[in-house]
Homo-oligomer: A and B are copies of this chain.
């Protein structure tokens, strides 16, 4: 049941590319991890054997339920170390990521939970990222949702909730906006109030009208 640091990095990369919800291409993973596409094919075979991903030849991979859970536990370790580095060791928020990336592979569950206690069971890391639970679940209700109108230019956010309004849903669908995707607010038009937002993963920019804003609930993030 123990998984190698390299495999941990792979499933984290897939997760970061939204692999909990959609099929992720070989190329994107190769890109994210700075390895060759052939290496990704290699590793995919290994991850399938451990039931961490589903593999669709020539299409890509998606995390299994187990894969999501394991990745969330990794992210928990990562983010708790980030809090520790930030709060206890006086690191700056931009320095903690790389250090935490190494420590996360070296900490047992026991150390992780003791660390959680030391830090007072924090809910967010220094970047504003939600810290998953020890069992690899995420408490969605802990998240403070705000209307999209509360976001300012250059801030990042994740779309979390839209009302069950057929016209609005169609509108957002046409624009390619999805639940759980991460965006950056690029511009608020001074004249008509329309927002230009950019999908962090696809890098597509779309413009949405003022009319929809109040109903879209998002999580505001501290950075990308």
A-side residues, CB < 8 A to B, are: 85, 88-91, 99, 102-103, 105-108, 110-111, 114-115, 117-118
Q: Which residue of B lies closest to A114 (CB)?
A: B89
Question: Is there contact, CB below 8 Å, between B91 and A114?
Answer: yes
Q: Given contact pairs A91-B114, A99-B108, enumerate 9 new A-B contacts (beta carbons under 8 Å).
A: A85-B114, A88-B118, A89-B111, A89-B114, A89-B118, A90-B114, A99-B110, A102-B108, A106-B106
In the bound complex, CA of A118 to CA of B118 (Å): 13
A115 contacts which chain B residues (CB < 8 A)? 89
Question: Is there contact, CB below 8 Å, between A106 and B108?
Answer: no
Copies of this chain in its oligomeric complex: 2
In the bound complex, CA of A163 to CA of B115 (Å): 48
Question: Is there contact, CB below 8 Å, between B85 and A111?
Answer: yes
Question: Is there contact, CB below 8 Å, between A102 and B91?
Answer: no
Determine how close the nearest CB of chain B comes to the CB of A134; give it in whole angstroms: 15
A107 contacts which chain B residues (CB < 8 A)? 99, 102-103
A110 contacts which chain B residues (CB < 8 A)? 99
A102 contacts which chain B residues (CB < 8 A)? 106-108
In the bound complex, CA of A107 to CA of B110 (Å): 18
A118 contacts which chain B residues (CB < 8 A)? 88-89
A90 contacts which chain B residues (CB < 8 A)? 114
**23 pairs of residues in contact across A and B, judged by CB atoms under 8 Å:** A85-B111, A85-B114, A88-B118, A89-B111, A89-B114, A89-B115, A89-B117, A89-B118, A90-B114, A91-B114, A99-B107, A99-B108, A99-B110, A99-B111, A102-B106, A102-B107, A102-B108, A103-B103, A103-B106, A103-B107, A103-B111, A105-B106, A106-B106
Q: Which residue of B lies closest to A98 (CB)?
A: B108
In the bound complex, CA of A29 to CA of B108 (Å): 27
A106 contacts which chain B residues (CB < 8 A)? 102-103, 105-106
Q: Give the top 3 A-B pairs by smallest Cβ distance, nearest first.
A: A106-B106, A89-B114, A102-B106
In the bound complex, CA of A187 to CA of B106 (Å): 40
